[in-house]
Amino acid sequence: MAMEMQAPKGTKDMLPQDAYKWQYIEGVFREVAKTYGIREIRTPMFEHTELFLRGVGDTTDIVQKEMYTFKDKGDRSVTLKPEGTSPVVRSFVESRLFNEAQPTKLCYITPAFRYENVQKGRLRQFHQCGVEVFGSKEPSMDAEVIAVAMDTLKKLGLKSLSLHINNLGCPNCRPKYNEALKKFLAENYDGLCDTCKSRFEKNPMRILDCKEKKCNEITKNAPIILDYMCEECDSHFAKVKEYLDILEIPYEIDPGIVRGLDYYTKTIFEIVTPDFTVCGGGRYDKLIEELGGPDMPAVGFAIGIERLIMTLEKEGIEIPNETLFDLYIGARGEEERKAAFKLASQLRPLGVKCEINHMGRSVKAEMKYANKLGCTFTTIIGEDELSNKKINLKRMSDGEIFEVSLENIEEIAKSVK
């Protein structure tokens, strides 16, 4: 017996009956991005592994536990991208976009890949839409990027949104904080998981992001970085809050946010609902330089599309579903079927979504099928219709009938759209 083929664990097919949800969300995201002058970028599905080691950080959960990494036929180590920011920065540097007038505002919609424990809201192939803005160090840009995310989520109908913000400091103030954090963690070192013990010397802040329960218990009373910020970071954070106030975006300062990526500096944020974190992002002022570009600031975010769809469904927000067909053209005989075929070919260039009988159904079965498809209008071409060169358009919602000339294609198109 042939083996039943199934999708790999942690992946999910997008079926035609669900595709409209994705198309709608992506359309809203692109529409909002355009109002901010943000242009789309597309990067490859895989990159050299070194990109993520240097960008995401080799002490993060993503790099240590979750990346899909393999050798290609040239014995080069490549990785399916686990997040969208590092590839966009790599492209920005490689394409020398830093030589253009700044800021550079980019957005993307992409699949990403992480070898995670499959659970509600977490898949091994998932999808993100995100924004990356390069070239501006101003706190106003932090607030504007947050506004792009909030505008997108609000336009989709979400109401139970909460913005959590924090500041991770910079290379000037973070060493002092790391010293205090290490001193605190040293007293509880034996209780840490093995992964966190390996992070202790190199990157103690990553311990704050650990998912292990025993590590969470230890770190809940750890020192917070907001108490160790330098004057510049303190001033930047204060101004970000001022700009959020101008935008009338409420926020909660949450010292517990550290995000799971090493490249963040200064502002970081999450947008959460009662069930999920649907968006995360922040400033990463050193990543462009780290990946071979100039010393140039940047800020961005990513929204998980699968989680977003689950959140919309949980809040009872219905995504508008487009009508599949404006017109179903039935036919009674062979010549009539040819006429229906020709009529459909004339209407489609005018934007009419129409369908004809490709299955040899009877006229009665055709109308039943048209009703199942949710067609807005139906018509049947018979001998009389061909000889009189007139057809009746039936509006399915109320049964009203409109007679139109079979030869006036534009009138038919106008009537059914």
Binding residues for L-histidine: 83-85, 114, 128, 132, 259, 263-264
Q: What b/e readout covers 159-182, taking b as 16+ CB neighbours within 10 angstroms?
A: eebebbbbbbbbeebbeebbebbe
Retrieve residue 41's tokens. 């970028």
Label residue 3 exposed, middle or buried (CB < 10 Å: 0-12, 13-18, 19+).
Answer: exposed
Annotated binding site: 83-85, 114, 128, 132, 259, 263-264
Q: What is the DSSP letter of 15?
A: -
Query: Cβ(410)–Cβ(372) under 8 Å?
Result: no
What is the 3-state composition of the chain as percent helix, strand, coil, each rounded to the nearest 5?
A: 40, 20, 35
Encoded tokens for 139: 């706190």
Supply angle C-alpha 162, 164, 166, rounded to 5: 170
Query: Both tokens of residue 214?
Result: 């025993």
Rounded CA-CA distance 33/38 in Å is: 5
- Classify strands 377-381 and 327-331 as parallel, antiparallel or unpaired: parallel
The helix (run of H) or strand (run of E) holding residue 401 is: strand 401-405
Query: Where does 315-408 have alpha helices with state H?
Result: 334-347, 363-373, 383-388
Please say whether the beta carbons of 39 and 45 come within 8 A: no
**Angle at 230 (CA atoms; ends 227, 235), nearest 5 degrees:** 95
Edge-to-edge strands of the sheet including 327-331?
Answer: 354-356, 327-331, 377-381, 390-395, 401-405
